Amino acid sequence: MKNLVEKLHQDFADFAKDAAAQIENGNKAAGTRARKISLDIEKALKEFRKKSIEATKK
């Protein structure tokens, strides 16, 4: 679970960087990367929720 949280931290940082590049500089490629990362974040958050529920049941 610790690895999952570390991955989420890195994904959030990457998303913030790419989203800022799109907003501030109009970088279309950064926007594409930010959208892709947002999907990865969504999947990782669902996995975190699943593992968190399992941990509380133990």
The string of pLDDT tens digits covering residues 21-58 is 999 999 999 999 999 999 999 999 999 999 999 999 87
User: What residue type is 16 in one-letter code?
Assistant: A
Are the beta carbons of 45 and 1 closer than 8 angstroms?
no
Reported confidence tier of residue 19, pLDDT bands at 50, 70, 90: very high
Q: How far apart are CA 46 and CA 31, in angstroms?
A: 23
So what's the pLDDT on residue 41? Answer: 97
Contacts of residue 58, Cβ cutoff 8 Å, sequence gap at least 6: none
Summarised one tens digit per residue, pLDDT across range 6-17 is 999 999 999 999
Model-level pTM?
Answer: 0.86
What is the domain partition of the chain in residue ranges? 2-57
